[in-house]
Amino acid sequence: MTRMTRNPDIAGRTAAVFCAVAALTGLTAAPSERPGRLVYVANLHSDTVSVVDTRSGTVVDGVPVGDGPDSAALGPDGSRLYVTDSAADTVSVVDTRTRTVVETVGVGHEPSRVTVSPDNKSVYVANVGAGTVSVISTRTLAVTDTIAVGDAPLGLAVSPDGRTLYVAVAGSDSVSVIRTDTGTVTGAVPVGGGPTALALTPDGRHLYVSNLTSDDVSVVDTRTRTETGRIPVGDQPAGIGVLPDGRRVYVADIGSDEVSVISTRSRTVTDTIAVGDGPTASPSTRTAGASTSATSSRTPCR
């Protein structure tokens, strides 16, 4: 499956972005009584979600979902898993106890990323092909709002208080700021080229943005809604995560096969870790009980 933009002028500028996010898989860790025991992996080409037991290192189950599962996110209580079916324009809702799909929700074109609000009331879905974010009620499992954000929305992050949703909009090199109670875009923060992924510090005061085409990470002050710094990293940073203590940021650099480690205090890269070929997923860095999600590209730009 190859990502396509609707606007040919935008396509040239964001081609590298779609190369990195094409053919995604998603993974998310289960926040249960035994933190980290289970990990859910969305398998793009087999239309399934694998359930992995981290203690034994084995796949213990497989859940059939929609066409082209791209990413996944757990609700805060771990009872439901939400999977974006990128080729079907749907979200599969999985009951993690029975490991079955209990509902399939139609969303926008090419849903790519998904996250859940801290209060477990809303699911947010970035529709990369439609330029929108779909809002799903976890109570009714129906779309309650569709918010236009611009061309190629990708990364999502919700503030700790749940009042603000941040969306990385690759087509405009910006981060859209959405007020969640009204579903309105209240501003846009210019960042680097091709923003693809977002990570908030635990206190919600700083947002880190991986900019795929400018090879850097933007630091955004969420109070002033301004970019306060930009940190050079490896080639084509695609995934990003912040540790629970807020001291370090990990960036997956797909083009240089490494992970850049950033100190949030000095805002510099303090270490570079060589990893496998084409990394795009940040490590799962949130504490148990919080919604976690990540993405990993296996066969970009087929």
What mean pLDDT value characterizes the chain?
85
* 72-88 pLDDT tens trace: 999 999 999 999 999 99
Q: What is the pLDDT of residue 166?
A: 98
Does the structure show a pLDDT above 70 at 108?
yes
Q: What is the pLDDT of residue 276?
A: 81
pTM for the model: 0.85
Per the DSSP assignment, residues forming a β-bridge with 134 are: 125, 146
Does the structure show a pLDDT above 70 at 163?
yes
DSSP element (H, E) containing 248: strand 248-253
* Structural domains in the chain, sorted by start: 1-190 (2.130.10.10), 199-284 (2.40.128.630)
DSSP string, 45-76: TTTEEEEEETTTTEEEEEEE-SSSEEEEEE-T
**The length of the chain, given as a count of residues:** 302
Measured CA to CA, the distance from residue 66 to residue 82 in angstroms comes to: 11
Joined together, the tokens standing for residue 250 give 């990990």
Does the structure show a pLDDT above 70 at 296?
no
Inter-CA distances, 79 with 41, 52, 66, 96, Å: 16, 16, 19, 5
Region 119-127 average pLDDT: 98
Q: What is the pLDDT of residue 295?
A: 41
Residue of 102, 126, 100, 171 lying closest to 24 (CA atoms): 126
Q: What is the pLDDT of residue 29?
A: 57
Q: What is the pLDDT of residue 4?
A: 35
